[in-house]
């Protein structure tokens, strides 16, 4: 999953980035509203975390302009915690509003919930035949037995499972699973798909030649 953090405070921006990366997200950042809006309009993110008091373009303007073209889930993170601010943010199109300071666990839980809902999923555990994927603990069980997956294997499985039934192109998978500075080889997706098939069954992920991958 790919996230964008738009936050002007360097220390906080890095902290949020580390929190998300530790939880398996690919994270891009922007230090001001203008750069953040440009990135949010040109890259397909799974979620945008948006501060309000930003230089160049404040968070309200970013939100308003983003909603003209994009439905990306937006979580507002702001020190402005008055009811009127939260109402304004939600009315402008934010999907959630979390006042600063916040706890790491709550931030990550809200991010997971927004991404699940945007993909039409309501539960934190996904079931595919005898495979159970826990999106909170990042654990996978098959027939009740824990299956050991690397972080990249889990993230690939999670993305395909959250979008179950939809053919996901290789380009979309690269965009959502690899950081901008990742030097991923062109066949790296095939390699990780083969790993998942060996661990979870050859029929779990289907290849749609010329289109991408799908979990039916």
Asked whether 12 and 57 are in contact (CB, 8 A), the reply is no
Which of 15-19, 174-178, 203-207 is least confident?
174-178
% of residues, the chain, pLDDT over 70: 97
Q: What is the distance, to the nearest Å, from the Cα of residue 151 to the centroid of all Cα atoms in its chain?
A: 14
pLDDT at 186 over 70: no
Long-range pairs, 183-189, Cβ under 8 A, ≥24: 189/156, 189/213
Distance of alpha carbon 101 from its chain centroid, rounded?
Answer: 21
> Which residues contact residue 140 at a Cβ distance below 8 angstroms, ignoring those fewer than 6 apart?
131, 132, 133, 134, 146, 147, 149, 154, 157, 200
Which of 156, 166, 160, 170 is closest to 211 using CA atoms?
170
* Whole-number pLDDT of residue 110: 96
Tens of pLDDT along 70-124? 999 999 999 998 999 999 999 999 999 999 999 999 999 999 999 988 888 778 8
């Amino acid at each position: 999953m790919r996230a964008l953090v738009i936050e002007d405070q360097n220390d906080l921006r890095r902290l949020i980035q580390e929190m998300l990366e530790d939880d398996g997200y690919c994270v891009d950042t922007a230090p001001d509203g203008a750069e953040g809006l440009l990135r949010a309009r040109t890259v397909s993110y799974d979620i945008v975390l948006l501060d309000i008091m930003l230089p160049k373009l404040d968070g309200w303007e970013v939100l308003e302009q983003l909603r003209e073209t994009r439905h990306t889930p937006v979580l507002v993170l702001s020190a402005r915690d008055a009811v009127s601010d939260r109402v304004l943010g939600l009315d402008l199109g934010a999907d959630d509003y979390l006042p600063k300071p916040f706890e790491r666990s709550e931030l990550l839980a809200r991010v997971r919930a927004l991404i699940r809902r945007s993909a039409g999923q309501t539960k934190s555990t996904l079931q595919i035949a005898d495979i159970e994927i826990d999106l909170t603990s990042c654990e996978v069980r098959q027939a009740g037995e824990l299956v050991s997956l690397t972080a990249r294997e889990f993230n690939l499985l999670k993305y395909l499972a959250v979008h179950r039934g939809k053919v996901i192109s290789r380009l979309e998978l690269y965009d959502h699973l690899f950081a901008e500075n990742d030097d991923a080889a062109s066949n790296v997706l095939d390699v990780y798909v083969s790993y998942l098939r060996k661990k979870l069954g050859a029929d779990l992920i289907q290849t749609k030649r010329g289109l991408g991958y799908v979990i039916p």
